[in-house]
Each structure stands twice: as C-alpha cells, then as structure tokens.
Amino acid sequence: RSGDGRAVLRSSVREFLCSEAMHYLGIPTSRAASLVVSDDDVWRDQFYNGNIKKERGAIVLRLATSWFRIGSLEILAHSGELDLQRRLLDFIIQQHFPSIAMNDSNRYLEFFSTVVSETANLIALWMSVGFAHGVCNTDNFSLLSITIDYGPFGFMDSYDPNFVPNTSDDERRYKIGNQANVGLFNLSKLLQALKPLLDPRQKQLASQILEGYGERYYIRFIELFKTKLGLLGENEDDNYLIAFLLKVSLLC
C-alpha cells in the first residue's frame, strides 16, 4: 500500500486516549504506557482531499499481557510448521490459560472453547459502547480476547450499523454492524489452524462450539444492554424494547 509505517502525533494522542478510555470502561484492552514525539517529519493527507501536509511523527508504547493473535497460529498452520505450532500453543495455554491442564488430551479443544466465548464477550462489549475496531482481521484479534490494535477506530455518535471508521474500507467489511460476523469468520480461521492438532472427535466438537458462538454473543449483548437500560429480571419484551430503542436511535 506504499505505507511508511509511521504514525503522526494527532493519531497517536487519539490512540493513547482511546485505549485508556476503553480500560476504564471495563473493556479488555492493551494499555498505553508512553507517547514519544519524533523529530522526523511525516507527510499525510489528513482529510483525503489531495492536500498533503507535513506533520510531526510520534510513537506510542503499548503494553499487553500477551500479543499472540489468531494470526500467530494461522501462519504456522499455513506453512505446515505443526511441531512449532504445537509448542507455541502449549506455551500460550501454560502461560495464559491456567484453568486448562497441560496433561489434558482435550486441552486444545478447551482452549478453543474459551477463545470463542471470550471473543463473543469482547465484541459484545465493543458494541455496548459503540466502538468500531476498524480492522478486524485475524492478525488484530487477540487469543486472550483483548483489544490490541488502535488503528482506524471510532465511536458512533448515534446508532448506525453501517458506521465505518476506516476510510480505506470501501467495501464496509468492518462496519460496526458486521463486527460480530467478522468475529465468527476469524474464529473459523482459528479452528482451521487448529484442526491438524485435533482428532476426528475433537474436530466435530470444535465445530459444535463454533456454531454456538452466535448464541453466546447474543446472550452477552442482551445482558449488557439490559444493564444499560436498567431492566431487571426476565421479560419476553426486553429484546423487543432493546431493538426498538436502537431503531429509534437510527432514525434520530
């Protein structure tokens, strides 16, 4: 894409502030530790109108429990490095999934089930605050289900399922209303990467776990919006009320 890999000061400040806001909103995220201004000039077309200007560059230092992503396993499976993939996966489980026993023959299945559940939870949390990630590819989806990339993100001012914060996303693949579906797509890629390490029974169970992703997401989404609206207990009209209010917001 002829990119230079640099960030300008304005976007770096925005990235710093947003990740801290997400943290205090209770959404799993990487944290911004520092922001360093660079002496190098960076040329950017800020408003994409052909008016290129010189801006000051900057670097944000980010911290996270882990930077392993779905893509970390996907690339090893794609290149056939199954021994290395198995070693890496065991390391990730041992370091970050203490509830999974390393001597459990179903540990990869348990790992996948946890990632599916926590990914559904993370995207539901994004939706509860109107956060659009912007670039939801497998290399930006954490295996620990935390928000690890703050590139072209955005918050909706009013409810609009077609909201896209990424000006280069001409096909609206990562529009906010599609985030849950993209999450399912990425998890299917994770399952595809894990399949060489699973036996036939485990593959079948993993497919069933993936099929349950939509229900897990929906349940968590409803829980979050019921809390926001102060709805107590269970009422068959709750889901209708949430959908109605979102529709009203869209029309406003």
Alpha carbons within 13 A on the beta-carbon side of 197: 29
Respond yes or no: is residue 40 known to be catalytic: no
Which one of the listed residues 90, 139, 160, 169 is annotated catalytic?
Answer: 139
Structure token pair of residue 125: 């949390």
Structure token pair of residue 51: 């008016």
Beta carbons within 8 Å of 38's beta carbon, 6+ residues apart: 6, 56, 57, 58, 59
Asked if 176 and 160 touch (Cβ cutoff 8 Å), the reply is: yes
Beta carbons within 8 Å of 231's beta carbon, 6+ residues apart: 238, 241
The set of catalytic residues is 139
